[in-house]
Structure 1
Amino acid sequence: MSKMFSKMGWIIVAVLCLSLVVFPACTGDGGGSEPIPYLHDGQFIQQTIGEVDSLDPAWGYDTASGEQTDYIYDTLLSYDQESTTDFITGLATNWTEVSTTAMKFHIASGITFHEGGNLTAEDVEYTFERALVQDRAGGPTWMFNYPLLGKFRTRSAGNITVTGAEIDAAVEIVDTDWVQFNFAFEFPAIQWKQILVQSWGSILDKEWCVANGEWDGDLSGEGWKAYNNPDKQDSYLYNHANGTGPWKLDLWEAGEYIRLIANDDYWRGAPPFDTVITQWVDEWSSRKLTLLNGDADHVYVPRAYIGELLDIDDLLKISALPELSNDCLFFNMNIDPESDLIGSGMLDGEGIPSDFFTDIHVRKGFSLAFDYDTYLADALLGEGTMLGSPLVNGLAGYDPDLPKYEQDLVEAAAELDLAWGGNLTSLGFKFTMVYNSGNIPRKTACEILAEALYSINPLYQVSILPMAWPTILDNIFTETETSKGPLPLFQIGWIADYPDADNFITPFMFSEGDFAYFQDYGSPTVDAMIEAARFMANGPARDAAYADIHNAYHDDPGGIMLAQPLGRRFFTKYISGFYFNPTIPGTPGPLYEMSKSES
């Protein structure tokens, strides 16, 4: 989802130049649009797509979950508004670099959790040790595991590969009210701070967690291992929350809405909204009507429909937001053979085998078949940049002149003719690809690919199926003893966790990365290239290293790279205070600093 300079000269990222374009009210040809009434004073109501996956900060790794977590919890520090390199204090009053392998944070006093417990250093220590203990598959805790334990995962081949003593030594209380993080190697302080500001750095109440069946904090024996990689809904924190943040969880009605109420005793000051309601509505026409009727303050607007709102007088319209994000169609090289999305499960014209995408000619053929120009025009209305690798504009290593795929149906057909020993052309294939319900750009991408393949050969048949967002996540980040998940192709976006090129390359291309691992994609050679570039100082040498990595992705595509979009936001005119930081999850923005007023 999310964020980077160190005094040691490790990673240098220029402060993003953010351009907010705010459109004034338009009168239109007919004397202006109907006024939007001011309704629901004291409430912020939004309608969007994609339900929360989990409210557990150590689990949620999607923007829907991260947004709600940010409202409920606090972190040790926060970004200073638009900046991704300047920080303000949070639950830590200050911090210091003990050495190149350790950093400590002083924990504030006098702050209470929603359920009445007092914040202590023990709560902070517990929060991060619990995250290391849990380390759920496909979750955000790789960003803790790697610097603190020296490895991306706490498991290998289903076996736990760390000890309780290692976890205990990674995070410790020092000098009574300081918490120290001990790194496994020299780690950039700026990057550690950028990791901590995000939702997975939200601080928990240890006593409350333990009282409700969570891990008890004991690392001395073997009992903690029972809490490693749990089922999502086994955790009390899946649908319960107790933070120190500006809003408290009131009700999560699955599939419909989540409602938060104000924490009137919030330590920073009373929040600007008494109630924050997020409703999940897949149908655009319903969301639009709710916005124009004044029953929502903000809605998710698919790019294809923005023209319907540009002449509405009473809307605040913001555009040209430089997102640090991308979208991709990922190839699964090791599909669960029990998947009901791969037909017969064989190369017989009625399905595909589990290892269908291990054939590089299939992957290159699909990449050449996709109509990138139509996708950019239809799905994004031209508001974006097509990409040739996971690298995005605004970070080190990005070069628009590096090679990228363009549609070439003749070359696509030639690659597919070579696939599977030359048998694919005569046999054909059938499988189903999914997109998250209500996501029009992703539906469009699926349609473009399916139509292009069919145009090459009518035996190349791809069906399209909408699926609920949490269900898609569950089906991506899963594995059996011998295979990965059931989705043959999965489409998902990525927003920076921390604003550095490595945070895009590692998940997509490193064999232990969150996407690559669940594709069975990667190679030792490319892994070594990525590790060499990871902590290089920005400059020509690092750019050259990432050019080589970009070319490796082009030569051996792990997916069909789509676009880096420009962002847009639509609010009623009664909302003010929005600013853009490319790492904030969700579209409303910095809600605690925003307000709603009729005047």
Structure 2
Amino acid sequence: MTLRRTALSLSLLLTPAALAATPRDTLVIQQAATVSTLDPGIAYDSFSLMMIENIYEPLWTYKGGSLTQMTPLLAARLPTYTNGGRTLVVDLRRGVKFHSGNAMTCADAEYTYRRDLVTNHPESANWFLSDSLLGTPDNANKNKAVTWARIAGAVKCNAAGQLVFTLPKADPAFMAKLAFTGAGIVDRAWAIRQGDWNGTEATWRAWVGKDLNAGNLSRNPSGTGAYRLAKWDANNVLLTAFPGYWGGMPAIRNVAMQKVAELAVRQQAFLRGDADLIEAGTRVNVETQLRGQPGVTVLDNLPTTGAGALFMNQNIRAAGALGSGKLDGKGIPANFFSDVNLRRAMAYAFDYDEFIRDVQRGKGQKRTMLLPDSFPGYDKRVSTYSYDPVKAAESFKKAWGGQVWQQGFVINANYRTGHILGQTALEVLKQGVEAINPKFRINIGVEPWSEQSVKMQKGEEVMLPMSWGADYGDPDNFMYTFYSSGGFFYPTHSWKDARVDRWLDQARATTDTAARNRLYRQVADVAADQSPYLLLPADLNVRPLRSNLQGVSAATYNPLRNFNFTGTFIRELSKK
């Protein structure tokens, strides 16, 4: 079948009025949103990465369901650090072709990572590559210490055609960062032909902070992956198998992603067999609507790489959210949550068992720290809070010298649109807190993510439910992000502890796993005592799929590769 006929057939298949049971060589995925980009240099959302992981490939990826073991992709073999953990020399796989027909060489890999460091748009994932390779998450527009000489010295090809990374200091998370789906190698010659950066020192300044979403490469990708782009419109992305793929022709020849906003419509298409995989909503939806239905298999008790909490901002920078702005029963002051007794009271007032029972259908697990329990460094021995209204009342009475108990308060807390778990978490807390003292009140509001994402970074949210999914398989991605005053969430909680900052910096600078684990335990112990967050129970992943889909199992499921809902590459799937 020609590419043109394949695209036409898939277009008909994906039209809601013309849905039909999917063929054996075709995988249909339905989700609530379409992709925003097909350029790995800017992609950071799950919907875009779902398609990009099939078009582009990084140097290596995770082996099976492991979060720590790697297997080569575009690297010929896994490298080892030299120079005290500061240098990584990578041999590249030979005989690899891009979709354009161009042969992959070291020049393409060099171009790719320099491009990431040069552009480093604030909405991309390049901040963590830059942090490793340049010692700062910022691009040259924000940090004048970022120069062309530093970029060119950080990643280059040697005379033997090997790719050489040179870090300013050891980073134990660097190899995990390079396994990120957005670290896929770009076809240099093809990108330049599309009008992209030409890779030279003469032009790099003009590309600093560039929004690659607007570039032609996003619409005309050329990767080394098992699938190439056939069609992309507002509601559909259509991929077809790449005949020149170095890993061989996959059993699934066509991949079709359709945007279907309504959950009920997605569920009906899935039950009819018109869709093989869907964005299935919460566990409650899976349990009540899909489990036990003909032709449906449900994988349950799967690991997760997410962590969530209710943030209590100790320096609220939005006067309009504070009510009266005083401890007078009509609002709260900006530093309301700076009192540790108040934060502890909130943690005791939350009914964790109710949340697990009603929201997670009994499948949730309490966490001791904001790190997935599947990650190295997680320590189940760290103390946790339990629902205890008596202890909550005692702590409330101590807060602010007794003023909180005497005067009461009004808290205005928000969740983002569609964040059901966040909404329910606030409702459970509201119920627990308001039952303790009639002077206590929590108002719950909803706001779009476009608004909330800006407010949280400005420190304008009061109490916010928020989750973080892993960018890369290293505990630093959670521990530094949540607990450090230099981390992504610092403006959302404004909690700072000099000891914690020091320990997290030390953990970033050593490759000694045991030493890192000890440091993370120390951080978690301090956080348990200071309660800067209210830790939310973690849900185990549950994934429904059509029963004829093969190559998916609990053993192969990797939560770091969960963009297509299977935790497995599509090229490894087949249908019976």
- TM-score, normalised to structure 2, is 0.82
Distance of aligned partners of 1:486 and 1:236 in 2 relative to their CA distance in 1, 3 Å threshold:
farther
How far apart, in 2, do the equivalents of 1:349 and 1:203 lie? 57
2:99 corresponding residue in structure 1? 114
Deviation at 1:115, TM superposition (A): 4.1
Deviation at 1:317, TM superposition (A): 2.1
Contact residue 95 and residue 103 of structure 1 kept, 8 A: no
- Larger mean CA deviation between 70-79 and 443-452 belongs to 443-452
Deviation at 1:172, TM superposition (A): 0.7
Deviation at 1:182, TM superposition (A): 0.8
Amino acid at match of 1:278: M
Deviation at 1:184, TM superposition (A): 1.4
1:272 corresponding residue in structure 2? 251
After superposition, the C-alpha distances for 1:367-403 in whole angstroms (9 at most, x for unaligned) are 3332211111122122132113213323344333321
After superposition, the C-alpha distances for 1:190-239 in whole angstroms (9 at most, x for unaligned) are x433322221311112334344454442346xx64554445575555666
How far apart, in 2, do the equivalents of 1:548 and 1:43 lie? 50
1:330 corresponding residue in structure 2? 311
Q: Does 1:405 align with 2:385?
A: yes
After superposition, the C-alpha distances for 1:435-471 in whole angstroms (9 at most, x for unaligned) are 352x543332233234334444465232232635xx3
1:78 corresponding residue in structure 2? 61
Q: Does 1:207 align with 2:189?
A: yes
Match of 2:497 among 492, 498, 523: 523
Distance of aligned partners of 1:68 and 1:143 in 2 relative to their CA distance in 1, 3 Å threshold:
same
The 5-angstrom pairing of residues 171-320 of structure 1 reads 171-175=155-159, 177-188=161-172, 191-219=173-201, 224-230=204-210, 233-234=213-214, 241-254=221-234, 256-281=235-260, 283-301=262-280, 302-308=282-288, 309-320=290-301
Aligned length: 546
Contact residue 390 and residue 508 of structure 1 kept, 8 A: yes
Q: Does 1:564 align with 2:538?
A: yes
Contact residue 264 and residue 271 of structure 1 kept, 8 A: no
After superposition, the C-alpha distances for 1:518-552 in whole angstroms (9 at most, x for unaligned) are 6544333211112334436344x655433321112
Distance of aligned partners of 1:538 and 1:179 in 2 relative to their CA distance in 1, 3 Å threshold:
closer
Contact residue 318 and residue 569 of structure 1 kept, 8 A: yes
User: Which structure features the higher share of helix residues?
Assistant: 2
Contact residue 66 and residue 585 of structure 1 kept, 8 A: no
Q: Does 1:451 align with 2:426?
A: no
After superposition, the C-alpha distances for 1:481-536 in whole angstroms (9 at most, x for unaligned) are xxx26544444433444444333211111222233366544333211112334436
Distance of aligned partners of 1:245 and 1:164 in 2 relative to their CA distance in 1, 3 Å threshold:
same
Q: Does 1:435 align with 2:416?
A: yes
After superposition, the C-alpha distances for 1:95-128 in whole angstroms (9 at most, x for unaligned) are 5447232112233454333344442322211211
Distance of aligned partners of 1:120 and 1:558 in 2 relative to their CA distance in 1, 3 Å threshold:
farther
After superposition, the C-alpha distances for 1:246-286 in whole angstroms (9 at most, x for unaligned) are 223445555x4544343343332233334323344454433
Amino acid at match of 1:555: D
Contact residue 436 and residue 442 of structure 1 kept, 8 A: no
Amino acid at match of 1:462: N
Helix, strand or coil for the counterpart of 1:522? coil
2:352 corresponding residue in structure 1? 372
Distance of aligned partners of 1:215 and 1:548 in 2 relative to their CA distance in 1, 3 Å threshold:
same
Match of 1:511 among 485, 490, 495: 485
Amino acid at match of 1:147: S
Contact residue 58 and residue 74 of structure 2 kept, 8 A: yes
Contact residue 324 and residue 583 of structure 1 kept, 8 A: yes
Cα RMSD (Å) of the superposition? 3.5
1:26 corresponding residue in structure 2? none
Identity of aligned residues (%): 27
2:512 corresponding residue in structure 1? 537
1:502 corresponding residue in structure 2? 476
Contact residue 137 and residue 477 of structure 1 kept, 8 A: no
How far apart, in 1, do the equivalents of 2:34 and 2:433 lie? 32
2:7 corresponding residue in structure 1? none
Deviation at 1:434, TM superposition (A): 1.9
Amino acid at match of 2:448: M
How far apart, in 1, do the equivalents of 2:236 and 2:251 lie? 20
How far apart, in 2, do the equivalents of 1:196 and 1:393 lie? 22
Contact residue 391 and residue 550 of structure 1 kept, 8 A: no
2:110 corresponding residue in structure 1? 125
How far apart, in 1, do the equivalents of 2:490 and 2:120 lie? 17
How far apart, in 1, do the equivalents of 2:323 and 2:101 lie? 56
1:383 corresponding residue in structure 2? 363
Helix, strand or coil for the counterpart of 1:506? helix
- Larger mean CA deviation between 198-207 and 529-538 belongs to 529-538
How far apart, in 2, do the equivalents of 1:288 and 1:218 lie? 50
Distance of aligned partners of 1:194 and 1:98 in 2 relative to their CA distance in 1, 3 Å threshold:
closer
How far apart, in 2, do the equivalents of 1:402 and 1:557 lie? 12
Contact residue 446 and residue 464 of structure 1 kept, 8 A: no
2:75 corresponding residue in structure 1? 92
Amino acid at match of 2:169: F
- Larger mean CA deviation between 571-580 and 292-301 belongs to 292-301
Contact residue 476 and residue 490 of structure 1 kept, 8 A: no
Distance of aligned partners of 1:447 and 1:261 in 2 relative to their CA distance in 1, 3 Å threshold:
farther
Contact residue 156 and residue 163 of structure 2 kept, 8 A: yes
2:6 corresponding residue in structure 1? none
Helix, strand or coil for the counterpart of 1:461? strand
Q: Does 1:552 align with 2:526?
A: yes
How far apart, in 1, do the equivalents of 2:34 and 2:466 lie? 15
Contact residue 95 and residue 104 of structure 1 kept, 8 A: no
Amino acid at match of 1:588: T
- Larger mean CA deviation between 192-201 and 420-429 belongs to 420-429
Q: Which ranges in structure 2 are unaligned for 5 or more consecutive residues?
A: 1-19
How far apart, in 1, do the equivalents of 2:198 and 2:404 lie? 55
Deviation at 1:405, TM superposition (A): 2.0
How far apart, in 2, do the equivalents of 1:168 and 1:235 lie? 23
Distance of aligned partners of 1:270 and 1:466 in 2 relative to their CA distance in 1, 3 Å threshold:
farther
After superposition, the C-alpha distances for 1:277-300 in whole angstroms (9 at most, x for unaligned) are 334445443332221111111223
How far apart, in 1, do the equivalents of 2:212 and 2:532 lie? 28
Contact residue 408 and residue 439 of structure 2 kept, 8 A: no
How far apart, in 1, do the equivalents of 2:63 and 2:361 lie? 32
1:47 corresponding residue in structure 2? 30
How far apart, in 1, do the equivalents of 2:459 and 2:210 lie? 17
- The structure showing larger relative contact order (alpha-carbon pairs under 8 Å, at least 6 residues apart) is 1
Helix, strand or coil for the counterpart of 2:542? strand
Helix, strand or coil for the counterpart of 1:374? helix
Distance of aligned partners of 1:99 and 1:533 in 2 relative to their CA distance in 1, 3 Å threshold:
closer
Deviation at 1:133, TM superposition (A): 2.1
How far apart, in 2, do the equivalents of 1:249 and 1:258 lie? 8
2:12 corresponding residue in structure 1? none
How far apart, in 2, do the equivalents of 1:396 and 1:488 lie? 32
Deviation at 1:48, TM superposition (A): 3.5
